[in-house]
Every structure is written in C-alpha cells, then in structure tokens.
Amino acid sequence: MKYLKERELLIEYGKNMLDKGLTKGSGGNLSIFIREEKLMLITPSGIDYYKTKPEDIVVMDLEGNVVDGERKPSSEHALHSIFYKKRDDIDAIVHFHSVYASTLASLRWDLPASYYLIAVSGGSSVRCAKYATFGTDELAENVFEAMEDRYVAFLANHGLIAGAKDLPNAFNKAEEIELCSEIYYRAKSIGEPVVLDKEETDNLKRLFSSYGQVKTD
C-alpha cells in the first residue's frame, strides 16, 4: 500500500487526540502533504479513530479530487489544502475541538501571551478566525488569513487548527496552545492575566525556533 507510513501516522495521532481528551469520536481531522507529489493524505469523514484502518485514509489532490480511497474524505479538506497550496512551511495539519480552545473560540477571543508557551504558535497571540460554516471555502480562507505569520489559529465557534512541517510538531503545537488556553481561562476566572510584552514574545519565538521541537527521523 502506498504511503503506509503516513497513513499509520495519521491513525496514531487521531488516537492520540481521543486519548488526551482533545476531541470526541470522529471529531476533528488530520492530514499530511506529500509535497513532491502534490498529494494530501487526510482522515476520512465520520469514522472513529480507533476504528480507522490504513486503507480508510483518503488521498486527494489539491483541487479536492480523490486520487485513492473508497471513503469520503473529511468535510474540512479545503481547510487543509489551502495551506499546502499557499505555504511552503506547512506539510501537516491538525484540527480538533479541544475544550479550552473551543471555549475561547466560542467567545471569538484571540489568545494573548499570558503564558510563555504561546511562542510555539509563531506569534505573540493566537488569532480567532472570522466565523464561517464548517467545510466551506469561506472558512478555509478565513482561517488562512488568521494564521498569517502563525502556525496556530482558532476557528470561531468551532475549535483549533495547527500546522507544521510534520505531524508530530503540528500536534505538539496544537496541544501546547490548548494548555495555554486552559491556563488563560483559569487565570481569567480569578483575575486579569498579565500579558507578556512584544520584546519578550519576540525573544521567546527566537528561543523556540530551536528549543522544544519534536525530533523526528
């Protein structure tokens, strides 16, 4: 089977989302881009990650055509392909419906730098994209705009998305920003969080450019 390693990695991290309470059932979606072939592997629609098999992973081109697979691809495939078309620094995407990021997204709030790990997002904040219906090109465009010069964004009334050069690092960024979201939520419930200034967030971005990355083979 072609792309077996990538298919198995998508299933592994789909299970990780469930195990870590970052989504429920078949919620959320993940993809990997094979840049040299301009093909995207993405999780199927409506299948529990613990029931997903390698052959269930769908291979698509960037125009939305299924190249290989019998399953229906995630309805959010445009949300993934727009980054592979327009950014050369992202080859994997993770999107999930974690509680704290989704809570802030439901308020349509940006996440400020109240905790140092915000630096993994690539910026001094995580922006919340303008609302659009799930699965639409409008949502994809809104999220792409919100993630300009960033690797993480919130989807208004929906969830969180993160990208990186590989799936382990995309997942790590998403997971760390969920933690930042929880800390901000909890701090906000008892007071007003102190936000780090731009000088310090720029310093943190520099430090995180080499520190704390997930090492892959």
**Active-site entry in 37, 63, 76, 141:** 76
Q: What is the pLDDT of residue 212?
A: 57
Question: Do the strands 58-61 and 66-68 form a parallel or antiparallel pair, or are they unpaired?
Answer: antiparallel
Q: What's the CATH code, domain 4-208?
A: 3.40.225.10
Q: How far apart are the first and last CA of the chain?
A: 21
Q: What is the pLDDT of residue 26?
A: 81
Q: What is the pLDDT of residue 185?
A: 98
Neighbours of 135 (CB within 10 A): 15
The DSSP secondary structure of 81-98, one letter per residue, reads HHHHHH-SS--EEEEE--
* pTM for this entry: 0.94
Instruction: Show the low-confidence residues of the chain (pLDDT under 50).
Output: none
What are the sequence ranges of the domains in the chain?
Answer: 4-208
Q: What is the pLDDT of residue 79?
A: 97
> How do residues 92-135 score in pLDDT, each as one tens digit?
999 999 999 999 999 999 999 999 999 999 999 999 999 999 99
Let me know if 138 is a catalytic residue. no
